[in-house]
Amino acid sequence: PKPSPPPPSSPGGDSRGFSSKSGVGLMVMVVAFCVVCGVMVLSPAANGLRASITTGQLFTKIYDSRVQSRTTQTNAKVDATADIGRRSALKGVSATAVSLIATSSKVQALDTQSPFKVSMDLALDATTTSPVTFEIYPEWAPLGAEQFKTLVSNGFYNDCRFFRVVDNFVVQFGINGSPDINKQYKKPIKDDPVTQSNKRGTIVFATSGKNSRTTQLFVNLQDNAFLDRMGFSPIGKVSEGGMEIIDKIYGGYGEGAPSGSGPDQMVLQRKGNSYLESAFPKLSYIKAANVITE
């Protein structure tokens, strides 16, 4: 028989000691070795990949954290800016409100210093009634002007008699016909400096001494400059044409008691108009007085 052909061998290699089983075993060992080496080689790569993933996740978290932090800071700045804006706006509103309040106060202050007029309907006698207007100037005598305005507004002078009329001197009024009402207005006001002379037609508060003005006033029937030195401070004057009416106020009873035969102020304070109507029926009087609002 012919011999079996020799197993193949690598070029130049010796084929002795190698059988097919041995070759298979060797191949298995090589494959196993490669697998082991591959695992050893791939494991660090896999670990590196995992590490890379973990690091990426970390960077992502850090990035997200920084973004979130910056966003939070930005939002905080926006909120702070908005808050500052709101505070500024509120301050602006407050400043405007304060400014408006101050302006309103100034306007009110100016109003108290603005001239005003008072109209009076005078019953000169039993059949004749004539209107007279007084122009009041607070800048002349602010306290007196304010007192007169208050009294007129309260209706104090309605039905008041001109109880003292002295020719070529003054005509005086300001004692209410009700004793009870008079008692409500006994508190005096302080004096005003004399800034205007007591000329004919000026209206002035009567006094009984320093800081004693209450409700009584008089109208100068002529220039009485000597009253300036005595502290009588005019608060206004009769409007143009009004003195023709004032001159017609009844003065037949003359100076009051005790110097003359006219009405006694002390009795008038105590008894009111009932005393005047019975003893001095011809006295002219104020039917109504009002502050003119324009």
Q: What is the pLDDT of residues 110-150, one digit of tens each?
A: 356 899 999 999 999 999 999 999 999 999 999 999 999 99
The reported pLDDT for the residue numbered 70 is: 55
Which regions of the chain does DSSP assign to beta strands (E)? 116-123, 129-136, 164-166, 170-173, 202-205, 217-220, 234-238, 285-292
The reported pLDDT for the residue numbered 112 is: 60
What is the spatial order of strands in the sheet that 234-238 belongs to? 164-166, 170-173, 217-220, 202-205, 234-238, 129-136, 116-123, 285-292
Q: Which residues pair with 164 in a beta bridge?
A: 172
Least confident of 51-55, 146-150, 161-165: 51-55
Query: Residue 16: pLDDT above 50?
Result: no
Task: Provide the 8-state DSSP code for 255.
Answer: S
CA distance 136 to 117: 6
The reported pLDDT for the residue numbered 248 is: 97
- Determine if residue 293 is left, alpha or beta; phi over 0 gives left, psi from -120 to 50 gives alpha, anything else beta: beta
Burial of 98 (0-12, 13-18, 19+ CB in 10 A): exposed
H or E stretch at 157: none
pTM assigned to the model:
0.64
At 108 the three-state DSSP class reads helix
Query: Residue 167: pLDDT above 50?
Result: yes
- pLDDT per residue as tens digits for the range 255-273: 999 999 999 999 999 999 9
User: Which percentage of the chain shows pLDDT scores above 70?
Assistant: 62
